[in-house]
Amino acid sequence: MTEPAVPTTAGSALSAELSAMPLALTLVESLSAAALRQRSATLLQRHLGLALAECLYIDGSGRWLGRDVGEDQFDCGDFHHPYAHVIRSGKPLLLSVADARIRLDHPGFQSQVASLGASLHLHIRPLRGGQSGREWLGVIVLAGTQARLKVLAEDPGMAAFEGLLCRLWTRLAREQGERHRSQILQDSLTKLNDGARRQALADRLAEDLLGHSNAMQALRRHIVRAAETNLAVLLQGETGTGKDRVARAMHQLSARAEGSFMAINCAAIPETLLESELFGHGKGAFSGAEHAREGLISQADGGTLFLDEIGDMPLALQAKLLRVLESGRYRPLGENEERCADLRVVAATHQPLREQIKEQRFRADLYYRLGQFPITLPPLSERRDDIAQLAQSFITDFCAREGRDEMGITPAALRLLYRREYPGNVRELKNVIDYACAMTPHDADIDTYLLPGEQGGFLTGSGLEETPPPGEDATLALPNDIVDLRQAMRDIESIIIRQRLNRFGGNRAQTAQSLGLPKRTLAHKCQLLELDIK
């Protein structure tokens, strides 16, 4: 390699060149420590005819020397490179490139000097700043002829240049540290504001996704987070947990809220028609296709496509859906040209997709592509604290839908709802409430005898079954797992009194006479048993 020409300027001329005003201004105009280091190296290499000039900086930990060009880092305690010797001793070091290649085997250092001629020398100088000059900044490495480097080592212009470099470096580093601290503070405030905004959105969701339980609060927070992204969402959970409502709420909170929300139940449409429903078809694509038709993917362009019961999608169609998710491209049935769609996919299933993958009934690649943001919906058994709020909401909806007067629900009936098991989750609870509302007389509240039982009868608080109609005496089926005899006796007494009250149209005098009780005693029992029939 041809060595750089050595200028013939004397030391005093060199001093004047390095301390020239334009060069100083170039350094002063640097906006960051990294820019300062790069400008300094460029000026030295260009004006002094050096083969290499570079500033290395010590990172915040004090352990590593970093480079602004390249990704190499040098451990300050690793003496396989010369920078460690300079850092440890605090003194400049002059060595030949040939000697460095023989004695030092650090791969990063060797790659740094690989392009230098063997006859050149390296001059490595420590750089310190601060008022006392004890604040380590880094090192500067210069490569050139031995004669030139010796002149630079003794030149006052070089010393002045280094002094200016270190002062500017120290100032910029401190300013950068202050900006960094300011940015951390700003980021913290932004996070607080984001947290407040997200909480406000989650609270707004509570108007549609009811429930004050911890499980529902966590679910609403997940929905807000998912709505902020364009990631595909996979909703998993038992049947009846409200996956369709969650999907729609996510769409309404997202940046795609102005677009269409298109939904399809993959289990409700025959396999032969499902592809056409999704991708659309051209005229004459199959028998009966007299007109071209846009599919749901096209209609959801710019919006959200909700695929319910994705676990029932045929394998062949899964592969085509995967292509849409990965490339945004699809082809309607019977057409030759591809189309593009920008949509967000939300899929839902109550089936164990991992088990289906093992049985080769669901594609693993589609599962992972759909599950970029997985959300599991809690069953009603994990949010029993929400039953009262849900029940009252369903009662209100029924009355508005059916034009009925407002009605309530008795504490006894509510206790029964708390104890009940719900394989169908919230959907089952709604069906129970709708049935009870339909069976409740006008100007009355839902009571225990109006709630449908698991076997088609009526459940009481202790699990006793009472066969309708309520106007006739019922045959009581006593369970074998009674653990509280007193409570069971109270429940039996409640059933009998309620049936007699119904038989006599709520007339307590006739009911008391038929049971051989004083009217005052019957009134007291009705109060104790929370029987609200007048």
Q: What percent of the chain has pLDDT above 70?
A: 83
Residue for token pair 């405030």 = 189
| Structural domain of 53 | 11-177
Rg (CA), the chain: 40
Q: How confident is the model at residue 184 (pLDDT cuts 50, 70, 90)?
A: low
In-domain check, residue 80: yes
CB 164 within 8 A of CB 27: yes
Per-residue model confidence (pLDDT) at position 479: 56
Residues 6+ apart with CB under 8 A from 52: 45, 113, 116, 141, 142, 143, 144
Burial class of residue 191 (count of CB atoms within 10 Å of its CB; 0-12, 13-18, 19+): exposed
Per-residue model confidence (pLDDT) at position 131: 67
Instruction: Say if residue 158 is in the same domain as residue 62.
Output: yes
Instruction: Say if residue 93 is in the same domain as residue 168.
Output: yes
Provide the H-helix boundaries in 29-96: 33-48, 82-89
Per-residue model confidence (pLDDT) at position 492: 79
Instruction: Say if residue 338 is in the same domain as residue 283.
Output: yes
Nearest to 123 by CA among 164, 155, 160, 170: 155
Instruction: Say if residue 224 is in the same domain as residue 271.
Output: yes
Q: Any bridge partners for residue 304, and if so which?
A: 261, 344
Q: How confident is the model at residue 177 (pLDDT cuts 50, 70, 90)?
A: low
Instruction: Say if residue 23 is in the same domain as residue 169.
Output: yes
Instruction: Say if residue 227 is in the same domain as residue 357.
Output: yes
Instruction: Say if residue 162 is in the same domain as residue 245.
Output: no
Per-residue model confidence (pLDDT) at position 303: 93
Entry pTM: 0.54
Residues 6+ apart with CB under 8 A from 193: none
Mean pLDDT confidence for 55-78: 82
Q: How confident is the model at residue 335 (pLDDT cuts 50, 70, 90)?
A: confident
Q: How confident is the model at residue 285 (pLDDT cuts 50, 70, 90)?
A: low
Instruction: Say if residue 241 is in the same domain as residue 105.
Output: no
Q: Which long-range contacts (CB under 8 A, 24 or more apart) does 453-460 make?
A: 454/421, 459/416, 459/420, 460/416, 460/491, 460/494, 460/495
Say how many C-beta atoms besides its own lie within 10 A of residue 48's C-beta: 25
Q: How confident is the model at residue 495 (pLDDT cuts 50, 70, 90)?
A: confident
List, in sequence order, every beta strand (DSSP E) within 177-311.
233-236, 261-265, 280-281, 293-294, 304-308
Per-residue model confidence (pLDDT) at position 532: 60
Among the residue ranges 156-165, 237-246, 357-366, the one predicted with the least confidence is: 156-165
Boundary of a domain, candidates 148, 177, 206: 177
Q: Is a pLDDT exceeding 70 seen at residue 3?
A: no
CB 254 within 8 A of CB 294: no
pLDDT higher for 271 or 263? 263
pLDDT higher for 461 or 314? 314
CA distance 123 to 93: 6
Boundary of a domain, candidates 149, 177, 205: 177
Among the residue ranges 19-33, 52-66, 196-210, 381-395, the one predicted with the least confidence is: 19-33
Say how many C-beta atoms besides its own lie within 10 A of residue 9's C-beta: 14
CB 515 within 8 A of CB 496: yes
In-domain check, residue 5: no
Phi first, then psi, for residue 8 (nearest 5°) are -95, 5
DSSP 454: T
User: The domain spanning residue 349 has which CATH number?
Assistant: 3.40.50.300
Residue for token pair 């202790």 = 462
Q: Can you say whether the dihedral through the CA atoms of 368, 374, 377, 383 is positive or negative?
A: positive
DSSP 216: H
In the three-class reduction of DSSP (H, G, I as helix; E, B as strand; rest coil), residue 461 is classed as coil
Among the residue ranges 159-173, 234-248, 317-331, 414-428, the one predicted with the least confidence is: 159-173
Helix pair 156-205, 214-227: axis angle to 10 deg = 130
Q: Is a pLDDT exceeding 80 seen at residue 195?
A: no
User: The domain spanning residue 529 has which CATH number?
Assistant: 1.10.10.60
Instruction: Say if residue 67 is in the same domain as residue 118.
Output: yes
CA distance 169 to 175: 10
Instruction: Say if residue 161 is in the same domain as residue 227.
Output: no
User: The domain spanning residue 78 has which CATH number?
Assistant: 3.30.450.40
Boundary of a domain, candidates 359, 378, 397: 378
Residues 6+ apart with CB under 8 A from 309: 265, 266, 267, 268, 348, 349, 350, 351
CB 201 within 8 A of CB 253: yes
In-domain check, residue 430: no
Mean pLDDT confidence for 457-463: 40
Helices vs strands, H then E, count in the chain: 21, 18
User: 118-143 pLDDT, tens per residue?
Assistant: 899 999 999 888 766 678 888 999 99
Give Cα separations from 273 to 288, 333, 519 (angstroms): 12, 11, 68
Residues 6+ apart with CB under 8 A from 150: 94
Q: What count of Cα atoms within 13 Å lies in the side-chain half-sphere of residue 338?
A: 9
* Top mean-pLDDT range of 105-114, 282-291, 464-473: 105-114
CA distance 48 to 42: 10
In-domain check, residue 317: yes
Residues 6+ apart with CB under 8 A from 12: none
Q: Is a pLDDT exceeding 60 seen at residue 434?
A: yes
CB 506 within 8 A of CB 512: no
CA distance 424 to 380: 9
Q: Is a pLDDT exceeding 50 seen at residue 457?
A: no
In-domain check, residue 120: yes
In the three-class reduction of DSSP (H, G, I as helix; E, B as strand; rest coil), residue 94 is classed as strand
Per-residue model confidence (pLDDT) at position 458: 41
**Structure-block tokens of residue 414:** 């509510």
In-domain check, residue 445: no
Mean pLDDT confidence for 243-269: 92
Instruction: Say if residue 250 is in the same domain as residue 141.
Output: no
Q: How confident is the model at residue 178 (pLDDT cuts 50, 70, 90)?
A: low
Q: Is a pLDDT exceeding 80 seen at residue 518?
A: yes
Burial class of residue 71 (count of CB atoms within 10 Å of its CB; 0-12, 13-18, 19+): exposed
Per-residue model confidence (pLDDT) at position 121: 92
In-domain check, residue 258: yes
Domain count, the chain: 3
Residue for token pair 């009934």 = 361
**Structure-block tokens of residue 292:** 């071209």
**Structure-block tokens of residue 143:** 């490569």
Q: What percent of the chain has pLDDT above 90?
A: 31
Instruction: Say if residue 31 is in the same domain as residue 131.
Output: yes
Q: How confident is the model at residue 450 (pLDDT cuts 50, 70, 90)?
A: confident
Mean pLDDT confidence for 32-49: 85
Q: Is a pLDDT exceeding 80 seen at residue 179?
A: no
Q: Is a pLDDT exceeding 90 seen at residue 388?
A: yes
In-domain check, residue 415: no
The separation between the first and the last C-alpha atoms of the chain, rounded to the nearest angstrom, is 109
